[in-house]
Structure 1
Amino acid sequence: MVAARALLFWALVYSYCGLCACIAGLRLLWSIGRRPGETFRWVVRENPPACLNDPSLGTHCYVRIKDSGLRFHYVAAGERGKPLMLLLHGFPEFWYSWRHQLREFKSEYRVVALDLRGYGETDAPPHKENYKLDCLIADIKDILESLGYNKCVLVGHDWGGMIAWLVAICYPEMVTKLIVVNFPHPSVFTEYILRHPSQLIKSGYYFFFQMPWFPEFMFTLNDFKVLKSLFTSQATGIGRKGCRLTAEDIEAYLYVFSQPGALTGPINHYRTIFSY
């Protein structure tokens, strides 16, 4: 019975992956027909926009984790010795998503906005097995210790929220306060998505990302049109007037994710979630 359920589950997963691929392929063909000269345009940004080096946001730092050997990039604001606030971004983001929080909380905390494994200037292991949740949880524990702290206020958004939940579950003594934005408790999410097909459809990108190379390819089309749309469209962008991303903000995201191979690490985070 268990084997039959597992077989049915994976059949549904790969069927849904195939459906997502077909839909993406049709959209690609449609875009080629409308703009044949523009579809495959991909501009690699060579110079970072000035906002990424704004000194008011904090200091760019690096730390190498002993166990994994990976080097992590982060931006820190606030005095050393103050309580630590550790910020974990989502997808497709990087440390810059926390620019407002870096300014807001630096008077009370040592605020650290991390580039997660595979993102931005943090090292990106080549194999998807290096992005299992166990590795991501261990990253946060090791980084906390490398920064000279044994506890922190842990803040996570989206996929960073998933990691934050799991860190708090596995190492509750390390988390004085937990703040999660836009991600439910993992157990609640798993139960809900299995019982509500509508949520399964909304989370379809989880399945789409299981395919090799094709998701990265789709993001690069029309000079990262999908990425721009995520931040600016009415459906997924910031709708509140006065809070929308500026042209320079968008260029910051394009700079990071237009670098060769920059999307594979972030998407690999999702390629291991069905291996548990």
Structure 2
Amino acid sequence: MARLLHNLLLLTVRLTFKIRVFGYWFLIYGYCVICTGIALLKLWWNIIIRPSTTFQWTIRETPPACLNDTSLGTHCYVRIKESGLRFHYVAAGERGKPLMLFLHGFPEFWFSWRHQLREFKSEFRVVAVDMRGYGESDVPPSTDTYSLDYLLTDVKDIVEYLGYNRCFLVGHDWGGTIAWLFAIHYPEMVTKLIVLNCPHPSVFTDYTLRHPSQLLKSSYIFFFQLPRFPELMLSINDFKALKSLFTSRSTGIGRKGRWLTNEELEAYLYALSQPGNLTGALNYYRNVFSFLPLIQTEVRSPVLLLWGERDAFLEQEMAETCRLYIRNHFRLNIISGASHWLQQDQPDIVNTLIWTFLKEGEGRKNYRN
């Protein structure tokens, strides 16, 4: 009788777990269908009502001059033995100084850190990486190669290749997610963690499931799960959607800060228009649901979280909740008037806040590894 009850209880637990898993993926793909329907309606509207819509786009063959600005640093490449991938990065500052590693977000590349490369090269070896699938780094074709393990190993291998065993890690957007997770999995390699407009993964998951407003703001994540169709929607009319992402009044850079110049915008379009790069960037999202529900770990490193007040993609309330997952010193700064791209439209304020955080606690004498 006892064995029968035990087996019945075990069966009930397993069935409950399977139902929860089924419900989780049903919610995700059901929302994907809704987002796809909306995207199709928009596409139909542009084709039927506005026949000027074109499916053509231009692959930029010549990089804008701003990408070769020597004040930003030197263009370098490294081939990681374990993965076999070649990564591109821009480095400045003296070799041997403490490493400050910058991880960009979507749909950016190393260039999003141009203001910080100039600012911190005086006391750090500053390195801004093109993540796998972006810029001049290699673009693995398989979606599975953008899983959490690969992305974290990329960062670890790059730090070690540069000759360091720890770094000051700075991440924005998707780079912020990877920075959070890297600090969780490799705490001994992160001296201090600086994250811009990206909540702790557990905070994002929990908050989104409980707040329909954030679920609506994150609808693009569900749309990006589809194969090929998101690439089409982002590239038609010569990347009109991406141009709008960086320049519109609701989501763009510089409403109360520095505007993105035409040359800087062309730099982004140059990087994203290269064959395979748009798919590589979207593949990060196509793996996101496989690991976000599993992240429930605290961060041991001191953390600075900078947040743009008018972020169009994330609810500000998530920023304060991140405190629950920090075991060390935590500083949160909400930057008035700053957008999601705050290191670009408010670079002076961002740089000042980072300097303040770097000088706290340990002091400059402990910068070195």
Asked if TM exceeds 0.5, the reply is yes
Partner of 1:124: 139
Q: How does 1:52-131 map to 2 (within 5 A)?
A: 52-131=67-146
Partner of 2:317: none
Structure 1 runs, 4 residues or longer, greater than 6 Å off: none
Structure 2 vs 1, CA of residues 106 and 18 (structure 1 numbering), >3 Å: closer, same or farther? same
Q: Distance in 2 between matches of 1:47 and 1:241?
A: 31
Q: Indicate if the aligned counterparts of 1:31 and 1:39 stay in contact, CA closer than 8 A.
A: no
Indicate the percent of aligned positions where both proteins have the same amino acid.
70
SS in 1 for 2:238: helix
SS in 2 for 1:263: helix
SS in 2 for 1:271: helix
Structure 1 position 263 matched with structure 2 position 262: no
Q: Distance in 1 between matches of 2:219 and 2:243?
A: 19
Aligned residues between the structures: 276
TM superposition shift of 1:34: 4.0
Partner of 2:163: 148
Q: Indicate if the aligned counterparts of 2:176 and 2:195 stay in contact, CA closer than 8 A.
A: yes
Q: Distance in 1 between matches of 2:27 and 2:256?
A: 40
Instruction: Tell me the alpha carbon deviations over residues 118-147 of structure 1, each in whole angstroms, 9 at most, x when there is no partner.
Output: 101101111011000111011101100000
TM superposition shift of 1:241: 4.1
Q: Distance in 2 between matches of 1:144 and 1:107?
A: 19
Q: How does 1:120-269 map to 2 (within 5 A)?
A: 120-269=135-284
The answer for unaligned runs of 5 or more in structure 2 is 1-15, 292-369
SS in 1 for 2:289: helix
Q: Indicate if the aligned counterparts of 2:254 and 2:260 stay in contact, CA closer than 8 A.
A: no
TM-score (norm 1): 0.97
Partner of 2:59: 44
TM superposition shift of 1:17: 0.6
Q: Distance in 2 between matches of 1:241 and 1:169?
A: 34
For the pair shown, which has the larger CA radius of gyration, 1 or 2?
2
Question: Whose relative contact order is higher, 1 or 2, with alpha carbons under 8 Å and at least 6 apart?
Answer: 1
Q: Distance in 2 between matches of 1:149 and 1:107?
A: 18
RMSD between superposed Cα atoms in Å: 1.1
Structure 2 vs 1, CA of residues 220 and 74 (structure 1 numbering), >3 Å: closer, same or farther? same
TM-score (norm 2): 0.73
TM superposition shift of 1:46: 1.2
